[in-house]
Structure 1
């Protein structure tokens, strides 16, 4: 089915060089009108702008006058946030405040789409399936910073700005940082196949159940919402498969994709029991609003990540 084009003429994207951004950029371009322009906010381009520089951010917003901002830039690792809480808050909240203030001042009709996280629900998962109406109970510096950024946007953006909050579940795909669980497993498989490490995969607890999506499905969800008419001042969309699986299932799939004999050993240093055993997420709102549903199987996502790790291993 042909999807609707994006109506926006000036789109500003933060985090274009990140994991999701590298998939979203070509997808956005494929849906933009010929006279539309995609602008980037980063520290490495021809006109570098640091999200933590309020004057630089304001100047960029004034220059490009976006009618859509898609804010992906973040410190996105839950594990890393525990050791670098100040940096996590500085980027995830401080940077968002700078961007929201500039948009409210310069582009009062702009639509602002923010990539938050299902991590904001935190301890609420222990009480059953969460919906967009579930009060968030974040449990990590990362999750608390994302929740605080949501509130900052709600407070700072103007009355005529429209705010879209995306709360995606765990998502993976080729190119994801090996700090995350699936590429961490896949990299070990690739190294074992290359003979650079012994045939032993070291893991933490494998019993916790998580909702996993493919990054392509998350990007598709973003685009479907962005192409739809925006009416409410604030909308929240969970993005999830609705089918949590044990983390060990990722490893089971990986082991079917290698011919190497591999031993799995639990590493006491990684055996931190999760305070949330199961993350069950309802995503009825986005399914009903824009007819989104995930299309890519977990098996395909795992295979893609392993293939990417093998490619990188051969290049090393």
Structure 2
């Protein structure tokens, strides 16, 4: 993908940089030689990926809530980025049921605030907004979603991300095109990998349960998801931003970055595989009680990413699970997690070369 030569010296801003995906992306960008700035809230988990893979001595780290329009604009102007990755979000489906107003305020209002800040900045050439595979209106036949499929979302999280897609389309057509700024959205699947400690997510819940010697309680073991290692969509984001910045005319404004169809598995199947690699028998049990509704099946068609960017999934499901469990086991053994994470990044670069 020619990443190293392109990213060396680029001024890059990552919103949500203290989160799981943001931390991986910042470390990869630094590894590629970019000058990285970050805007986010303080990590709300302990341990936190962002702290585990520090030192961030070369990074301009700024704390700001994306709902604070004036504060966000000031920080974007100070960073003077050429390229922005917008990852800041309320990203938990179950939390969105508990706090729908907050979810819409962050995911929709925060996106509006960022795009307004971009228009007032003057230095920005490219913006990639990360959304989700859940932006699509649920289909009845279970077919993989195409970028041309209707947007929708029944739960507040999915609806807020679909709304963010519409916001981006409006700003692109109304303002960004005339300003010479390339704005695009990236839709990825269920991301797993080392360093995620969020609530109500399969791998963090599994690591906590297995560490306590308990089986993992699953809400929807028969639900099907497009599982992928965190480096897969991030590699797509990097290639996407590069193509947009180089003003390639054949680059679409929204792309799916999903796993190989063979990586699709039910929640129960993935939990079984995680338990096997971890060395746990009887790895899960059905969770008791009523649960908020979630889509029963999700999968993405990533043909457009391959055709327009030459991007495709590199890790099969077994590798994805091995890399993920390996990261957590290394952390629990006291390894230098910055060095370990960079080694995984370098190994992925070799696969993608």
Check conservation: 2:224, 2:296, Cα contact below 8 A: yes
- Please, which runs of 5 or more residues in structure 1 have no aligned partner? 193-198
Q: Output aligned runs, 1:1-316, within 5 Å.
A: 2-3=2-3, 4-6=5-7, 9-32=10-33, 37-43=35-41, 47-107=62-122, 110-124=125-139, 126=141, 128-156=143-171, 157-159=175-177, 160-176=180-196, 177-192=198-213, 199-228=214-243, 229-231=246-248, 235-243=253-261, 244-262=264-282, 264-269=284-289, 274=294, 276-310=295-329
CA RMSD of aligned residues (A): 2.7
Residues 61 and 268 of structure 1, relative CA distance in 2, 3 Å threshold: closer
Residue of structure 1 equivalent to 2:54: none
SS in 1 for 2:253: strand
Check conservation: 2:80, 2:124, Cα contact below 8 A: no
SS in 1 for 2:186: strand
C-alpha distance in 1, partners of 2:199/2:187? 22
* CA displacement, residues 99-134 of structure 1 (integer Å, 9 cap, x when unaligned): 111212333762111001111014136452211111
SS in 2 for 1:294: coil
SS in 1 for 2:91: coil
Check conservation: 2:272, 2:283, Cα contact below 8 A: no
- Please, which runs of 5 or more residues in structure 2 have no aligned partner? 43-59, 335-353
Residues 73 and 273 of structure 1, relative CA distance in 2, 3 Å threshold: closer
Residues 90 and 186 of structure 1, relative CA distance in 2, 3 Å threshold: same
Q: Give the TM-score normalised by structure 2.
A: 0.77
Aligned length: 305
Residues 125 and 146 of structure 1, relative CA distance in 2, 3 Å threshold: farther
C-alpha distance in 2, partners of 1:136/1:301? 29
SS in 2 for 1:211: strand
C-alpha distance in 1, partners of 2:272/2:138? 28
Residue of structure 2 equivalent to 1:196: none
Shift of 1:92: 1.0
Residues 132 and 314 of structure 1, relative CA distance in 2, 3 Å threshold: same
C-alpha distance in 2, partners of 1:263/1:51? 39
C-alpha distance in 2, partners of 1:48/1:251? 35
